[in-house]
Structure 1
Amino acid sequence: MVDYESLDDQQLIQRVSQVDKDALEALYVRYQTPVYSLAMFMLKQPALAEEATQDIFLNIWLKAGSFNSERGQPKSWIMSVAHHKIVDVIRSRRRTIVNTDPADYETLDLLPAAGASTEAQVEQTLERERIMRALATIPESQREVIMLAYFEGYSQSEMAEKLDQPLGTVKTRVRLAMQKLRLALENDGHE
Protein backbone atom coordinates (compact mmCIF):
# COMPACT_ATOMS: atom_id res chain seq x y z
CA MET A 1 0.00 0.00 0.00
CA VAL A 2 1.35 3.42 -0.98
CA ASP A 3 1.58 6.15 1.66
CA TYR A 4 0.47 9.11 -0.46
CA GLU A 5 1.12 11.64 2.30
CA SER A 6 4.83 10.80 2.17
CA LEU A 7 5.08 11.36 -1.60
CA ASP A 8 6.22 14.76 -2.82
CA ASP A 9 4.14 16.76 -5.29
CA GLN A 10 6.16 15.68 -8.31
CA GLN A 11 5.70 12.01 -7.43
CA LEU A 12 1.97 12.56 -6.96
CA ILE A 13 1.65 14.28 -10.34
CA GLN A 14 3.57 11.42 -11.94
CA ARG A 15 1.14 8.92 -10.38
CA VAL A 16 -1.86 11.03 -11.46
CA SER A 17 -0.53 10.88 -15.03
CA GLN A 18 -0.71 7.08 -14.64
CA VAL A 19 -4.42 7.36 -13.73
CA ASP A 20 -3.96 6.96 -9.95
CA LYS A 21 -7.10 8.41 -8.35
CA ASP A 22 -5.62 8.21 -4.85
CA ALA A 23 -2.71 10.39 -5.94
CA LEU A 24 -5.19 12.98 -7.27
CA GLU A 25 -7.02 12.85 -3.95
CA ALA A 26 -3.72 13.50 -2.12
CA LEU A 27 -3.02 16.50 -4.38
CA TYR A 28 -6.55 17.73 -3.74
CA VAL A 29 -6.03 17.54 0.02
CA ARG A 30 -2.78 19.53 -0.31
CA TYR A 31 -3.94 22.16 -2.77
CA GLN A 32 -7.70 22.55 -2.39
CA THR A 33 -7.37 25.54 -0.04
CA PRO A 34 -4.93 27.64 -2.12
CA VAL A 35 -6.74 26.75 -5.37
CA TYR A 36 -10.14 27.65 -3.89
CA SER A 37 -8.70 30.84 -2.36
CA LEU A 38 -7.37 31.92 -5.75
CA ALA A 39 -10.70 31.10 -7.39
CA MET A 40 -12.61 32.98 -4.70
CA PHE A 41 -10.29 35.96 -5.01
CA MET A 42 -10.66 36.14 -8.78
CA LEU A 43 -14.32 35.14 -9.15
CA LYS A 44 -15.74 36.74 -5.99
CA GLN A 45 -18.57 34.19 -5.76
CA PRO A 46 -18.40 31.05 -3.60
CA ALA A 47 -20.51 28.86 -5.92
CA LEU A 48 -18.39 29.79 -8.95
CA ALA A 49 -15.19 29.31 -6.96
CA GLU A 50 -16.29 25.83 -5.82
CA GLU A 51 -17.23 24.81 -9.36
CA ALA A 52 -13.95 26.21 -10.74
CA THR A 53 -11.98 24.33 -8.07
CA GLN A 54 -13.57 21.04 -9.16
CA ASP A 55 -12.86 21.85 -12.81
CA ILE A 56 -9.26 22.73 -11.96
CA PHE A 57 -8.65 19.34 -10.38
CA LEU A 58 -10.30 17.69 -13.36
CA ASN A 59 -7.83 19.60 -15.58
CA ILE A 60 -4.96 18.43 -13.36
CA TRP A 61 -6.21 14.85 -13.81
CA LEU A 62 -6.35 15.29 -17.59
CA LYS A 63 -3.10 17.26 -17.99
CA ALA A 64 -0.83 15.58 -15.44
CA GLY A 65 1.12 13.95 -18.25
CA SER A 66 2.10 17.39 -19.58
CA PHE A 67 3.84 18.40 -16.34
CA ASN A 68 7.57 18.93 -16.94
CA SER A 69 9.70 19.30 -13.80
CA GLU A 70 12.43 20.98 -15.85
CA ARG A 71 10.09 23.89 -16.57
CA GLY A 72 9.00 24.56 -13.00
CA GLN A 73 7.89 23.37 -9.62
CA PRO A 74 4.74 21.27 -9.14
CA LYS A 75 3.09 23.99 -7.03
CA SER A 76 3.69 26.57 -9.77
CA TRP A 77 2.24 24.22 -12.38
CA ILE A 78 -0.85 23.48 -10.28
CA MET A 79 -1.47 27.17 -9.59
CA SER A 80 -0.89 27.96 -13.27
CA VAL A 81 -3.50 25.37 -14.28
CA ALA A 82 -5.80 26.97 -11.70
CA HIS A 83 -5.17 30.51 -12.94
CA HIS A 84 -5.80 29.58 -16.57
CA LYS A 85 -9.05 27.79 -15.73
CA ILE A 86 -10.29 30.71 -13.64
CA VAL A 87 -9.48 33.15 -16.45
CA ASP A 88 -11.47 30.88 -18.78
CA VAL A 89 -14.43 31.07 -16.38
CA ILE A 90 -14.16 34.86 -16.24
CA ARG A 91 -13.99 35.11 -20.03
CA SER A 92 -16.96 32.81 -20.45
CA ARG A 93 -19.02 35.02 -18.17
CA ARG A 94 -17.98 38.10 -20.22
CA ARG A 95 -18.56 40.55 -17.45
CA THR A 96 -16.70 41.76 -14.43
CA ILE A 97 -17.86 40.19 -11.23
CA VAL A 98 -17.67 42.63 -8.37
CA ASN A 99 -18.32 41.32 -4.88
CA THR A 100 -16.47 42.72 -1.93
CA ASP A 101 -18.52 40.94 0.70
CA PRO A 102 -15.85 39.92 3.24
CA ALA A 103 -17.94 36.91 4.28
CA ASP A 104 -17.07 35.37 0.93
CA TYR A 105 -13.37 35.37 1.81
CA GLU A 106 -13.51 33.16 4.89
CA THR A 107 -11.50 30.40 3.25
CA LEU A 108 -8.40 32.55 2.94
CA ASP A 109 -5.63 31.88 5.42
CA LEU A 110 -6.68 34.85 7.54
CA LEU A 111 -9.01 32.99 9.84
CA PRO A 112 -8.71 33.42 13.60
CA ALA A 113 -6.40 30.95 15.29
CA ALA A 114 -8.03 27.96 16.92
CA GLY A 115 -8.34 28.48 20.63
CA ALA A 116 -8.22 32.28 20.35
CA SER A 117 -10.52 34.22 22.65
CA THR A 118 -13.83 35.46 21.29
CA GLU A 119 -12.53 39.02 21.44
CA ALA A 120 -9.40 38.06 19.48
CA GLN A 121 -11.52 36.20 16.92
CA VAL A 122 -13.75 39.26 16.44
CA GLU A 123 -10.70 41.51 16.04
CA GLN A 124 -9.11 39.14 13.51
CA THR A 125 -12.37 38.88 11.57
CA LEU A 126 -12.70 42.68 11.44
CA GLU A 127 -9.07 42.99 10.34
CA ARG A 128 -9.61 40.37 7.62
CA GLU A 129 -12.64 42.31 6.36
CA ARG A 130 -10.61 45.52 6.31
CA ILE A 131 -7.82 43.88 4.33
CA MET A 132 -10.22 42.37 1.79
CA ARG A 133 -11.97 45.73 1.29
CA ALA A 134 -8.60 47.40 0.80
CA LEU A 135 -7.45 44.71 -1.67
CA ALA A 136 -10.58 45.30 -3.73
CA THR A 137 -9.52 48.93 -4.28
CA ILE A 138 -6.14 48.29 -5.91
CA PRO A 139 -5.57 47.49 -9.61
CA GLU A 140 -5.86 43.85 -10.68
CA SER A 141 -2.19 43.50 -11.70
CA GLN A 142 -1.08 44.73 -8.28
CA ARG A 143 -3.70 42.70 -6.42
CA GLU A 144 -2.48 39.60 -8.27
CA VAL A 145 1.11 39.98 -7.00
CA ILE A 146 -0.12 40.54 -3.44
CA MET A 147 -2.20 37.35 -3.64
CA LEU A 148 0.71 35.37 -5.10
CA ALA A 149 3.15 36.64 -2.49
CA TYR A 150 1.08 36.65 0.68
CA PHE A 151 -1.62 34.04 0.12
CA GLU A 152 0.22 31.55 -2.08
CA GLY A 153 3.77 32.06 -0.81
CA TYR A 154 5.49 32.87 -4.10
CA SER A 155 8.85 34.66 -4.07
CA GLN A 156 9.30 37.64 -6.39
CA SER A 157 11.42 35.48 -8.71
CA GLU A 158 8.71 32.81 -8.85
CA MET A 159 6.09 35.48 -9.55
CA ALA A 160 8.19 36.86 -12.41
CA GLU A 161 8.42 33.38 -13.92
CA LYS A 162 4.73 32.58 -13.40
CA LEU A 163 3.55 35.91 -14.80
CA ASP A 164 6.16 35.91 -17.56
CA GLN A 165 7.24 39.39 -16.48
CA PRO A 166 10.68 40.86 -15.78
CA LEU A 167 11.70 40.67 -12.13
CA GLY A 168 11.94 44.48 -11.99
CA THR A 169 8.32 44.80 -13.11
CA VAL A 170 7.18 42.37 -10.42
CA LYS A 171 9.17 44.23 -7.75
CA THR A 172 7.60 47.52 -8.85
CA ARG A 173 4.11 46.03 -8.78
CA VAL A 174 4.66 44.64 -5.28
CA ARG A 175 6.01 47.98 -4.03
CA LEU A 176 3.15 49.97 -5.60
CA ALA A 177 0.58 47.45 -4.40
CA MET A 178 1.87 47.64 -0.84
CA GLN A 179 1.81 51.46 -0.97
CA LYS A 180 -1.76 51.50 -2.27
CA LEU A 181 -2.83 48.82 0.20
CA ARG A 182 -1.28 50.78 3.07
CA LEU A 183 -3.04 53.96 1.91
CA ALA A 184 -6.38 52.14 1.54
CA LEU A 185 -6.02 50.73 5.05
CA GLU A 186 -5.17 54.17 6.45
CA ASN A 187 -8.19 55.66 4.68
CA ASP A 188 -10.32 52.94 6.26
CA GLY A 189 -9.77 54.78 9.55
CA HIS A 190 -7.20 52.47 11.13
CA GLU A 191 -3.44 52.11 11.57
Structure 2
Amino acid sequence: MHTQKLDDSVLVSNYIAGNERCLEILILRHKQRIFSFIYSKVQDRDVADDIFQDTFIKVINTLKMGKYNEEGKFLPWTMRIAHNLIIDFFRKGNRMPTFQNTDEFDIFSVLSDNTLSAENRLIKDQIHEDVKKLVEELPEDQREVLMMRIFKDMSFKEISEQTNVSINTALGRMRYALINLRKMIDNNNIILTN
Protein backbone atom coordinates (compact mmCIF):
# COMPACT_ATOMS: atom_id res chain seq x y z
CA MET A 1 0.00 0.00 0.00
CA HIS A 2 1.22 3.51 -0.79
CA THR A 3 2.54 5.28 2.33
CA GLN A 4 0.55 8.48 1.64
CA LYS A 5 -2.75 6.62 2.04
CA LEU A 6 -1.95 4.93 5.36
CA ASP A 7 -3.94 5.81 8.49
CA ASP A 8 -2.31 8.11 11.01
CA SER A 9 -1.98 5.26 13.52
CA VAL A 10 -0.08 3.11 10.99
CA LEU A 11 2.18 6.04 10.08
CA VAL A 12 2.89 6.64 13.79
CA SER A 13 3.74 2.95 14.32
CA ASN A 14 5.99 2.93 11.24
CA TYR A 15 7.74 6.11 12.40
CA ILE A 16 8.32 4.63 15.86
CA ALA A 17 9.73 1.54 14.10
CA GLY A 18 12.26 3.78 12.31
CA ASN A 19 10.61 5.00 9.09
CA GLU A 20 11.36 8.76 9.20
CA ARG A 21 9.32 9.40 6.02
CA CYS A 22 6.12 8.53 7.92
CA LEU A 23 6.53 11.53 10.24
CA GLU A 24 7.03 13.79 7.24
CA ILE A 25 3.73 12.53 5.78
CA LEU A 26 1.94 13.13 9.11
CA ILE A 27 3.29 16.68 9.31
CA LEU A 28 2.32 17.47 5.72
CA ARG A 29 -1.11 15.89 6.19
CA HIS A 30 -1.99 17.98 9.25
CA LYS A 31 0.21 21.07 8.87
CA GLN A 32 -2.50 23.39 7.56
CA ARG A 33 -5.02 22.55 10.27
CA ILE A 34 -2.56 22.70 13.17
CA PHE A 35 -0.84 25.88 11.96
CA SER A 36 -4.20 27.62 11.34
CA PHE A 37 -5.35 26.70 14.84
CA ILE A 38 -2.15 28.10 16.39
CA TYR A 39 -2.24 31.25 14.26
CA SER A 40 -5.91 31.89 15.10
CA LYS A 41 -4.92 32.08 18.77
CA VAL A 42 -1.62 34.01 18.68
CA GLN A 43 -2.30 36.24 15.62
CA ASP A 44 1.42 36.40 14.79
CA ARG A 45 3.01 34.36 12.00
CA ASP A 46 6.49 34.16 13.58
CA VAL A 47 5.12 33.10 16.96
CA ALA A 48 2.81 30.60 15.22
CA ASP A 49 5.80 29.15 13.32
CA ASP A 50 7.75 28.77 16.57
CA ILE A 51 4.86 27.08 18.37
CA PHE A 52 4.22 24.83 15.36
CA GLN A 53 7.87 23.71 15.38
CA ASP A 54 7.84 23.25 19.17
CA THR A 55 4.68 21.16 18.82
CA PHE A 56 6.40 18.72 16.46
CA ILE A 57 9.60 18.65 18.54
CA LYS A 58 7.41 17.55 21.44
CA VAL A 59 5.59 15.04 19.20
CA ILE A 60 8.93 13.56 18.03
CA ASN A 61 10.33 13.38 21.57
CA THR A 62 7.21 11.69 22.92
CA LEU A 63 7.16 9.17 20.06
CA LYS A 64 10.90 8.44 20.38
CA MET A 65 10.57 7.89 24.14
CA GLY A 66 7.74 5.41 23.50
CA LYS A 67 5.26 7.46 25.55
CA TYR A 68 2.63 7.79 22.83
CA ASN A 69 -0.53 5.86 23.65
CA GLU A 70 -3.25 7.74 21.76
CA GLU A 71 -4.07 4.90 19.37
CA GLY A 72 -5.67 6.35 16.22
CA LYS A 73 -5.97 9.85 17.68
CA PHE A 74 -2.83 11.50 16.35
CA LEU A 75 -4.42 14.81 15.25
CA PRO A 76 -6.40 15.51 18.48
CA TRP A 77 -3.31 14.57 20.50
CA THR A 78 -1.10 16.91 18.46
CA MET A 79 -3.70 19.68 18.72
CA ARG A 80 -3.68 19.27 22.52
CA ILE A 81 0.12 19.67 22.52
CA ALA A 82 -0.19 22.80 20.37
CA HIS A 83 -2.96 24.13 22.64
CA ASN A 84 -0.79 23.62 25.74
CA LEU A 85 2.16 25.36 24.08
CA ILE A 86 -0.09 28.32 23.18
CA ILE A 87 -1.16 28.54 26.82
CA ASP A 88 2.52 28.40 27.88
CA PHE A 89 3.29 31.21 25.43
CA PHE A 90 0.63 33.45 26.99
CA ARG A 91 1.71 32.51 30.52
CA LYS A 92 5.41 33.21 29.91
CA GLY A 93 4.86 36.67 28.53
CA ASN A 94 1.91 37.30 30.83
CA ARG A 95 0.10 38.29 27.67
CA MET A 96 -3.66 38.32 27.60
CA PRO A 97 -5.03 37.00 24.31
CA THR A 98 -7.53 39.32 22.72
CA PHE A 99 -10.53 37.69 21.14
CA GLN A 100 -13.04 39.78 19.32
CA ASN A 101 -16.64 38.74 19.59
CA THR A 102 -18.30 39.93 16.43
CA ASP A 103 -21.36 37.73 16.63
CA GLU A 104 -24.85 38.73 17.72
CA PHE A 105 -24.60 36.61 20.84
CA ASP A 106 -21.93 35.43 23.21
CA ILE A 107 -22.64 32.13 24.95
CA PHE A 108 -20.42 33.21 27.85
CA SER A 109 -21.93 36.64 28.47
CA VAL A 110 -23.87 35.12 31.38
CA LEU A 111 -20.71 33.54 32.76
CA SER A 112 -18.64 36.71 32.81
CA ASP A 113 -15.67 36.48 35.14
CA ASN A 114 -13.37 39.47 35.11
CA THR A 115 -10.53 37.56 36.74
CA LEU A 116 -10.03 35.03 33.94
CA SER A 117 -6.45 33.98 33.36
CA ALA A 118 -5.03 33.85 29.85
CA GLU A 119 -5.39 30.07 29.95
CA ASN A 120 -9.05 30.20 30.97
CA ARG A 121 -9.80 32.83 28.34
CA LEU A 122 -8.21 30.61 25.70
CA ILE A 123 -10.13 27.55 26.82
CA LYS A 124 -13.40 29.48 27.10
CA ASP A 125 -12.87 30.91 23.60
CA GLN A 126 -12.29 27.43 22.17
CA ILE A 127 -15.41 26.06 23.89
CA HIS A 128 -17.39 29.05 22.60
CA GLU A 129 -16.27 28.35 19.04
CA ASP A 130 -16.98 24.62 19.32
CA VAL A 131 -20.47 25.06 20.77
CA LYS A 132 -21.36 27.83 18.31
CA LYS A 133 -20.49 25.54 15.38
CA LEU A 134 -22.65 22.78 16.86
CA VAL A 135 -25.62 25.13 17.37
CA GLU A 136 -25.38 25.98 13.67
CA GLU A 137 -25.75 22.27 12.84
CA LEU A 138 -29.08 21.92 14.68
CA PRO A 139 -32.27 21.67 12.62
CA GLU A 140 -33.74 25.14 11.96
CA ASP A 141 -36.75 24.80 14.32
CA GLN A 142 -34.59 23.56 17.21
CA ARG A 143 -31.93 26.20 16.63
CA GLU A 144 -34.58 28.94 16.56
CA VAL A 145 -36.09 27.91 19.92
CA LEU A 146 -32.64 27.49 21.51
CA MET A 147 -31.53 30.96 20.36
CA MET A 148 -34.75 32.59 21.58
CA ARG A 149 -34.66 30.86 24.96
CA ILE A 150 -30.95 31.11 25.80
CA PHE A 151 -29.72 34.15 23.94
CA LYS A 152 -32.86 36.32 23.90
CA ASP A 153 -34.08 35.10 27.30
CA MET A 154 -37.63 34.63 25.99
CA SER A 155 -40.21 32.59 27.87
CA PHE A 156 -41.71 29.51 26.23
CA LYS A 157 -45.00 31.43 26.02
CA GLU A 158 -43.27 34.21 24.04
CA ILE A 159 -41.48 31.66 21.87
CA SER A 160 -44.73 29.83 21.09
CA GLU A 161 -46.41 33.13 20.14
CA GLN A 162 -43.52 34.25 17.93
CA THR A 163 -43.13 30.88 16.15
CA ASN A 164 -46.87 30.16 15.93
CA VAL A 165 -46.61 26.78 17.68
CA SER A 166 -47.99 25.50 20.99
CA ILE A 167 -45.97 25.87 24.18
CA ASN A 168 -45.59 22.06 24.24
CA THR A 169 -44.12 22.09 20.72
CA ALA A 170 -41.68 24.86 21.73
CA LEU A 171 -40.70 22.85 24.84
CA GLY A 172 -40.26 19.71 22.72
CA ARG A 173 -38.04 21.53 20.24
CA MET A 174 -35.91 22.89 23.08
CA ARG A 175 -35.63 19.41 24.59
CA TYR A 176 -34.54 17.90 21.25
CA ALA A 177 -32.11 20.78 20.66
CA LEU A 178 -30.43 20.06 24.01
CA ILE A 179 -30.41 16.28 23.40
CA ASN A 180 -28.86 16.82 19.95
CA LEU A 181 -26.31 19.29 21.32
CA ARG A 182 -25.29 16.81 24.03
CA LYS A 183 -24.85 14.07 21.41
CA MET A 184 -22.79 16.35 19.16
CA ILE A 185 -20.66 17.48 22.13
CA ASP A 186 -19.97 13.84 23.03
CA ASN A 187 -19.30 12.84 19.41
CA ASN A 188 -16.88 15.74 18.96
CA ASN A 189 -15.14 15.10 22.31
CA ILE A 190 -15.79 18.66 23.45
CA ILE A 191 -15.15 19.25 27.15
CA LEU A 192 -17.28 22.10 28.48
CA THR A 193 -15.33 22.67 31.67
CA ASN A 194 -11.75 23.75 32.16
TM-score bin (small chain): 0.5 to 0.7
**What per-residue deviation string (whole Å, max 9, x for no partner) do you get for residues 103-159 of structure 1?**
xxxxxxxxxxxxxxxxxxxxxxxxxxxxx7449x77644420254565xxxx51255
1:144-183 paired onto structure 2 within 5 Å? 144-148=126-130, 150=133, 155-157=184-186, 160=189, 163=191, 165=192
| Equivalent residue, structure 2, for 1:4 | 3
Q: Distance in 1 between matches of 2:4 and 2:98?
A: 38
**Maintained 8 Å contact 2:70/2:77:** no
**What per-residue deviation string (whole Å, max 9, x for no partner) do you get for residues 157-183 of structure 1?**
25556x4x57xx9xxxxxxxxxxxxxx
State the one-letter code of the partner of 1:25: E
Q: Distance in 1 between matches of 2:68 and 2:186?
A: 20
Greater RCO, CA 8 A, separation 6+: 1
| Equivalent residue, structure 1, for 2:82 | 82
Q: Over aligned residue pairs, what C-alpha RMSD do you find?
A: 3.3
1:21 CA displacement: 2.4
Q: Distance in 1 between matches of 2:10 and 2:23?
A: 11
Consecutive unaligned residues in structure 2, runs of 5 or more: 109-120, 134-183
1:99 CA displacement: 7.3
State the one-letter code of the partner of 1:95: R
Percent identity between matched residues is 20
Greater radius of gyration (CA):
2
Q: Distance in 2 between matches of 1:35 and 1:156?
A: 21
**Maintained 8 Å contact 1:39/1:53:** yes
**What per-residue deviation string (whole Å, max 9, x for no partner) do you get for residues 75-113 of structure 1?**
22121122112222222222114376xxxxxxxxxxxxx
**Maintained 8 Å contact 1:44/1:99:** no
| Equivalent residue, structure 2, for 1:66 | 67
**What per-residue deviation string (whole Å, max 9, x for no partner) do you get for residues 46-94 of structure 1?**
2111111111111111112322146x72222121122112222222222
State the one-letter code of the partner of 1:66: K
State the one-letter code of the partner of 1:62: N
Aligned CA distance change for structure 1 residues 86 and 17 (closer, same or farther; 3 Å):
farther
**Maintained 8 Å contact 1:42/1:86:** yes
State which drifts further: 6-15 or 91-100: 91-100
SS of 1:95's partner is: coil
1:100-179 paired onto structure 2 within 5 Å? 133-134=102-103, 140=121, 141-148=123-130, 150=133, 155-157=184-186, 160=189, 163=191, 165=192
Aligned CA distance change for structure 1 residues 85 and 8 (closer, same or farther; 3 Å):
same
